[in-house]
Chains A and B, each alone.
Chain A
């Protein structure tokens, strides 16, 4: 049985919340990119809003938008989050260290539970079926999507809301500064992918998708969502080739390839060049200069892929190499140095 993406919504550092590719990207000279946030008061009822942390607001607002766009109301919710509710986790950790421990507000503790968002979405939209949260760094979205595909195949669900979300965290920014993970100097994000220095710029975002067992008129099929542990940095070209075989595809079928290049001089080529060479005639696109790097950033690419398959033109500012043919099948590949993740979508 096939799975279809029947609606999508993306909150990101770009003006994507309106649902179309922005004509021009937001250009900044920075070490990180933060979401272009909507006025949450217009979207989330005040009684829910008052105790919500940043990530919960991002996620709940984007879930509403995605559900509103969907022809079918989802019966299940699956959220993938790479690092989880880091903001309030950090706040409650700090409260415990600063004390007095006997006088702590429970709210940041409640909000630090990584499945709080999935629970809030269930409450806000009264979705009482299956409710799951994957907390798995760069593989979180892919686990969530493949679980959704299995739910549809089993007949447990007719339509599942899948979300991918990570929030900017000052603590993560500081901690992962080791090993030249982040840029040391601010960089113009449009120059990022030249990868002239070590490190990426940090980002954040929320991408939601309704996955249904029946197509809507756009007929966008979610073919595969796979991930693999990888303890080296080099791309596993054989793994990707085997996956194509498994789904009865050849390298020639892939018209558009999204790669997770993040502007890191040290790892971009070892992580992506092998995969790019596998598809010599495909258009190659990138997005982390628009989204910043965060564990579930591949959701930004998935949203773009859905837009391309709905007939929107891939913007020049996201194109690394233009191909020669129209786009029917898209492969997304992201390598975060401990897992590799592939999503395949196509026009049905």
Chain B
């Protein structure tokens, strides 16, 4: 069985255009969940928006201006380029690509579906797989390509697939991640489900009142130990698991049964026990139901010792991108030997014994657990380890 190393990381979110900027924000803990500038919707809720227009993002992505691109595509391309650069990958002939977005380029299609004939150059975005193909074309990727869509656990599941492909020898190196931009469609969906926060998300807070949406692109390069030989390595993917809770279409069970199963299975794959985990990057969406159910699962397995935080207080919930974004933050926790705070937390929830990290601080970080849970009962846990 091949070991799987992380050799490249790249991300753009509300808290920075690249890894260096995001690292700074994770340390500073400033608030980024505010009113939208670019998102057009009658639903006026605070969001974690990337403070750049599409034109600015086009230039950040290194693409020529004068062309309209999907914002989701631009976020993906910016992050994917940074991941490939940090991995020093110039030969991409055997590189495979796994990517995800919640609803393809919904931020484009929701605005043009009524009069498609007026937007000939954008019609390609109705193809569910257009963004990954465009990323592959732009970056010269020739290997096999996969697109996963499991709502909020999508890109965590992508990392799991990439790891399994490399472990089994079916891939040498994979560029894997997710991208999602804010859209009227998604903010309306969360609002209609009554899980959108009117005040701005506060994961694991006593007075938390829902999700704040965010947007991001996040990609990692994973390589087999042999393919990564001689390269700087950020960490290793040691554990992974995906299960289905089979409980409810959108909510998690109060005891967090699915989450517990996913975490236990991931620990088993990694040959680690709960006590080995130095930090947990929780799914922590900021809803009453998720945070309670997840903290029950974590409390049952880890007691009150292991530091836990949700980074969604910084970035908002970036949906299909959050698994990869939080994988990047987990890798950074290992590299920097720090655990990230719970941005925007005022009063930790009383119904838990979990050790909630309030502010970013130094710590010994050897193994990080990262949870991502999606609608449809989809629960995924990943474990990243120091080399």
Interface on A for B, CB 8 Å cutoff? 77, 82-84, 89-90, 92-93, 95-97, 99-102, 104-106, 109-110, 112-116, 118-120, 122-123, 126-137, 139, 143, 147, 150, 153-154, 171-172, 174-176, 178, 226-229, 231, 295, 338-339
Contacts and interface: CB of A to CB of B under 8 A. Distances in A.
A314 to B, nearest CB: 30
A178 B120 CA distance: 8
A228 B94 CA distance: 12
- Interface size class, chain B: 35 or more
A129 B129 contact: no
A133 to B, nearest CB: 5
Interface of B: 41-43, 102-104, 106, 109-110, 113-114, 116, 120, 123, 126-129, 132-133, 136-137, 142, 144-151, 157, 161, 164-165, 168, 170, 184-185, 188-189, 191-194, 242-250, 258, 261, 374-378
A116 B377 CA distance: 9
Contacts of A119: 244, 246, 249, 375-378
A339 B146 CA distance: 11
B114 A97 contact: yes
B192 to A, nearest CB: 4
B151 A113 contact: yes
A128 B243 contact: yes
Chain A CB within 10 Å, residue with most, of B127, B165, B191, B374: B127
Contact of A120 (B142, B149, B249): B249
B148 A132 contact: yes
Given A96-B188, A133-B150, 6 more contacts: A109-B189, A118-B378, A135-B149, A136-B145, A150-B164, A295-B128
Nearest to B120: A178
Given A93-B185, A128-B244, A109 B192 contact: yes
The 4 closest A-B pairs by CB, nearest first: A119-B376, A109-B189, A135-B149, A131-B244
Contact of B375 (A89, A116, A127, A130): A116
B147 A131 contact: no
5 contacts: A102-B42, A104-B192, A109-B185, A119-B244, A123-B377
B193 A114 contact: no
A82 B128 contact: yes
Given A133-B148, A227-B144, A110 B128 contact: no
A154 B241 CA distance: 13
Given A104-B192, A227-B144, A174 B116 contact: yes
Contacts of B149: 84, 114-115, 133-135
Nearest to A89: B103
A126 B133 CA distance: 35
A123 B375 CA distance: 12
Nearest to B127: A137
B114 A77 contact: no
Contacts of B246: 119, 122-123, 126-128
Contacts of A129: 243-244
